[in-house]
């Protein structure tokens, strides 16, 4: 009888918001990719490929990108402060450059206790000060360490801000289409109302303020309390990078429409056309706007992206501008229930924004590593873009920034029919076929939402450069075979 | 005019659940303690103490507890894999024992990528396997790595499970009174219904199943869908440790009343009367119960407590037994939105459960460190308990486990009147006075909830042993002065 006892907690009676939540970046296809990886690891020889390549997620070190040496040296010393004892100096100085040793000493002094202690819930004050100095230098305008909250990756910060914004199910948040699905998933979890606005693919995924205004008015006329605008810049999955003048319009729009602005800027150093389209932070744009003291802005950054790519460490921060003082106190209370962001992530966040300076022993190597990674990412982005644009029925906007391309695919009727037969969306069908044929895992456009009747997928351009031509070749062959089969 | 523009987001229109949430462990008093610490750091000489002692939170390394050498050595090598290159071996082997080097190599191999990569959202499979082996060895019953979810501290796991349990505002969760306020705070955030049950102070904070049954029936008769029971064992803030026979009764009760059991077992190695009252895990108790295949259990563990005390790293795990398969898939989806728990915390979790073995080069030092910390904690617990019990109007149950004592204070009428005049709860008034007089920060019992008309506070016994007598002296003097003033 025991085995037939119904469960207390079931999919039917659990939190319905969690049940309805979707997150395709690590969804069904990614789970299938892991199964295939396990099969290969267990010696399977019946698959048409010999490795699984995860292009579904911006996870550079998983694809063998080397971490930045200086950063890791400092963290390693902070973990093992015994190495900083005077009697070990003669040995340690042969393994670590002097500036890494000095930096680790300084960080441990700043923390004032072991890195194994809970820190201030907003993050160690001295580390926040480093971040504030970085922002001031980046933008030319000061930043207040007390307005900074260090977080376990940008995702955790975004979730906290969306949560505090959500008064009830009528609370509306403007999110771009296509969008990184953290936003839609979190709004579903919170029971808030996503208010989608569209980026225009043909003009390079540009953002038209007057289009968004129509969306806001329409949603408000239906009773939605639209109160915040999410902008991902550089774009994910789209790779666009906003122009400074466009950003001023967006700020004016936020002021006029009474919207808090959430600026997801985690790809701010992944900029591939820096002359034509440099990155401008929304903090800087705000400081140059007439309503600089009024518009409420929260901007997010992360150690997971850029050239540093320390995803697994979970570190990042958000900066609050013009937020109500009571609201920031509530943000502190929220943070305090989780005690603190992990201290190793906090340290890496501070290191990211205070790299070795010219003249420091580690400067040359740091520069070489950063430039090497940057140039390589840029080359790979251009190469993959060209590959996509050369495919039959595929068009792809360039990545001005980020780690992704988001090509549009036009599938033959027979492929659409086959997908319908399998009860799959056409882009999901295409991506499934790609995975099973090549071992390459990408994410269907439907995981990010897209204009009705269009189909896309998102791929990183992170496979190692030495294997990149082979990777591109697999995609080309797959696409040609797919088109031949279904034409 | 700009300065008078009302804010978009205000305390009045924000998420009301966050506004209502309370978390006293890092609440008003702890914020005041930080202010005092800052004043001292800036050279203040007008305070009646020369340092602030944070006994409000179990944060041993903040009070100078040394981390376990072997664990830190391994993590430090994982951070800087350059040290594992053959050409560095002659130097590195002078700084690190061979078993730390071997362990770091093994962990990096298990991870299969840099520790800077996102891992599996449930945690690295090989590290989960280490945890499963530990559970099997601890309990004498197997554990499945696929039923384990590595987390960023136990708190994150508890929040996830409470979230998935919450179907709507009628969902009721039984929580002990007094309780660690993560539970009440999270239920407030989720809009679920806390269903309090009382621990009996006089009998050592024991738990009477028939009392809980009454509570369940009463709550259900009022329309609350009571579906889970939270047990903190060893107790926080109360320090009690459950007897094996009592645990069997609790499991039977869960089966009869159709309750999922959440067992918070983060203090499982902080056991101070191991002969009379050893720790028994609920997993083991379940395996010895007739309904072992039926009762749904989620149990939590952490790297923040025990002798390891790596709070700032944020690591831990939960194990699911008998959960619906669909529910565990939903738990995976939830975890995937946050991508993964930080990998450094995952590594530390695996290290905690696979320490050096007899015969390993690091075994002796590891044993010495662990035993030293344990014996010292036990001595301090007994000493502080005696100090409290010798105070006028104070009684204190012994800590059979955990890191806390929770003395009951009986305050003179004049003190109650003074508290009322200040619009403070009597225990909050007492703790405020203690902080201002001694620099010692504890948490009022009202932060954990307590039987009406009784007043308590929670203090850790974590101040360093060399300073412990001085610390106890400050508390004694304060109490004597307080009683003299208000008697």
Q: What are the average pLDDT values for consecutive 10-residue runs of chain B, which has 487 residues? A: 78 97 87 93 93 94 94 98 95 97 97 92 96 98 98 96 98 97 96 97 94 98 98 96 96 98 98 95 98 98 97 97 97 93 98 98 98 96 98 96 97 97 96 97 95 96 96 97 95
Q: Are A392 and A479 in contact (CB under 8 A)?
A: yes
Residues of B in contact with A16 (CB under 8 A): 167
* Separation CA A322–CA A231 (nearest Å): 18
Give the pLDDT confidence of A327-359 residue by residue, as tens digits.
999 999 999 999 999 999 999 999 999 999 999
Q: Which two tokens stand for residue B190?
A: 């989720």
pLDDT band at A2 (very low <50, low <70, confident <90, very high): very low
Q: Which two tokens stand for residue A268?
A: 């701010």
* B80 contacts A155? CB cut-off 8 A: no
Interface of B with A in 410-449 (CB under 8 A): none
CATH of domain A125-353: 3.40.640.10
Q: Which two tokens stand for residue B123?
A: 């945690």
Q: Which two tokens stand for residue A459?
A: 């791929």
pLDDT at A13: 98
* A340 contacts B344? CB cut-off 8 A: no
State yes or no: pLDDT of A421 exceeds 80: yes
Summary mean pLDDT of chain A: 96
CA angle A133, A137, A139 (to 5 degrees): 115
If you write DSSP's letter for every residue of A90-117 in order, what string do you get?
Answer: HHHHHHS-HHHHHHHHHHHHHH-S-TTS
Residues of B in contact with A14 (CB under 8 A): 164-165, 167, 327, 330
> Has domain A16-64+372-486 been given CATH number 3.90.1150.10?
yes
* A9 contacts B164? CB cut-off 8 A: yes
Burial class (CB in 10 A: 0-12, 13-18, 19+), A442: buried
Rounded to 10 deg, the angle between the B468-486 and B363-389 helix axes is 20
* CATH topology identical between A16-64+372-486 and A125-353: no
Q: Are A163 and A183 in contact (CB under 8 A)?
A: no
Comparing CA positions, the residue from B171, B100, B93 lying closest to residue B351 is B100
Interface of B with A in 244-273 (CB under 8 A): 258-260
Q: Residue range A346-375: average pLDDT?
A: 98
Q: Are B231 and B254 in contact (CB under 8 A)?
A: no
pLDDT at B28: 87
pLDDT at A1: 44
* End-to-end Cα distance, chain A: 55
State yes or no: pLDDT of A411 exceeds 50: yes
Lowest mean pLDDT segment, chosen from A23-27, A181-185, B162-166: A23-27
Among the partner-chain residues A15, A59, A337, the one whose CB lies closest to the CB of B163 is A15
Residue B237 preceded by cis peptide, ω within 30: yes
* B79 contacts A76? CB cut-off 8 A: yes
For B434, residues 6+ apart whose C-beta sits below 8 A from its C-beta are: B440, B442, B457, B475, B478, B482
Per-residue CA distances from B134 to B128, B144, B253, B351 (Å): 10, 11, 28, 10
Residue B15 in 3-state DSSP? coil
Residues of B in contact with A21 (CB under 8 A): 333-334, 337
**Domain spans in chain B, listed from the N-terminal domain onward:** 16-64+384-486, 125-353
The runs of H, that is alpha helices, within A242-309 are 244-257, 282-287
* Separation CA B119–CA B346 (nearest Å): 10
Give the pLDDT confidence of A75-119 residue by residue, as tens digits.
999 999 999 999 999 999 999 999 999 999 999 999 988 899 999
Query: Residue written as tokens 């408000």?
Result: A220
CA dihedral B208, B209, B215, B220 (to 10 degrees): 170
Question: Of 3.90.1150.10, 3.20.190.10, 2.60.120.10, 3.40.50.300, which CATH number belongs to B16-64+384-486?
Answer: 3.90.1150.10
Give the pLDDT confidence of A440-482 residue by residue, as tens digits.
999 999 999 999 999 999 999 999 999 999 999 999 999 999 9
* Separation CA B210–CA B8 (nearest Å): 50
CA nearest to A69 within chain B: B80
Q: Which two tokens stand for residue A350?
A: 């501070």
For the beta carbon of residue B232, count every other beta carbon within 10 angstroms: 26
Residues of A in contact with B260 (CB under 8 A): 8-9
């Amino acid at each position: 009888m025991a085995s037939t006892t119904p469960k207390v907690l079931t999919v039917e009676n659990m939190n319905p918001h969690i049940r309805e939540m979707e997150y395709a970046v690590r969804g069904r296809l990614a789970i299938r990719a892991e199964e295939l990886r396990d099969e290969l690891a267990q010696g399977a020889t019946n698959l048409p490929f010999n490795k699984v390549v995860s292009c579904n997620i911006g996870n550079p070190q998983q694809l063998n990108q080397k971490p930045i040496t200086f950063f890791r040296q400092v963290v390693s010393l902070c973990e093992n402060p015994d190495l900083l004892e005077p009697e070990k100096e003669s040995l340690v100085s042969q393994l670590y450059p002097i500036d890494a040793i000095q930096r680790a000493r300084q960080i441990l002094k700043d923390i004032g206790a072991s890195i194994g202690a809970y820190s201030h819930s907003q993050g160690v004050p001295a580390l926040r000060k480093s971040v504030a100095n970085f922002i001031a230098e980046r933008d030319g305008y000061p930043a207040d360490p007390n307005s900074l909250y260090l977080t376990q990756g940008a995702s955790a910060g975004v979730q906290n801000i969306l949560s505090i914004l959500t008064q009830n199910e009528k609370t509306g948040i403007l999110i771009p289409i296509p969008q990184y699905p953290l936003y839609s998933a979190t709004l579903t979890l919170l029971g808030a109302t996503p208010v989608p606005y569209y980026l225009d693919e043909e003009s390079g995924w540009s953002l038209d303020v007057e289009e968004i205004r129509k969306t806001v008015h329409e949603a408000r006329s239906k009773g939605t309390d639209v109160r915040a605008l999410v902008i991902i810049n550089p774009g994910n999955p789209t790779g666009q990078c906003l122009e400074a003048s466009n950003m001023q319009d967006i700020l004016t729009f936020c002021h006029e429409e009474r919207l808090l602005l959430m600026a997801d800027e985690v790809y701010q150093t992944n900029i591939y056309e820096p002359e034509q389209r440099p990155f401008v932070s929304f903090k800087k744009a705000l400081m140059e706007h007439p309503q600089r003291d009024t518009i409420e802005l929260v901007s997010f950054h992360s150690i997971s992206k850029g050239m540093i790519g320390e995803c697994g460490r979970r570190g990042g921060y958000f900066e609050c501008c013009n937020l109500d003082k009571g609201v920031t106190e509530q943000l502190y209370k929220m943070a305090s229930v989780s005690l603190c962001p992990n201290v190793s992530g906090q340290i890496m966040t501070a290191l990211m924004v205070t790299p070795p300076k010219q003249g420091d022993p580690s400067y040359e190597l740091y520069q070489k590593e950063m430039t090497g990674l940057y140039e390589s990412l840029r080359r790979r982005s251009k190469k993959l873009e060209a590959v996509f644009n050369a495919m039959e029925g595929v068009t792809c906007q360039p990545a001005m920034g980020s780690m992704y391309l988001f090509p549009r695919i036009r599938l033959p009727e027979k492929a659409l029919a086959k997908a319908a037969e399998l009860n799959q969306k056409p882009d999901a069908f295409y991506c499934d076929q790609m995975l099973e044929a090549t071992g390459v895992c990408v994410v269907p456009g439907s995981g990010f939402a897209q204009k009705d009747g269009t189909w896309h997928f998102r791929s990183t351009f992170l496979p190692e450069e030495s294997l990149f031509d082979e990777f591109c070749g697999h995609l080309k062959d797959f696409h040609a075979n797919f088109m031949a089969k279904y034409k």
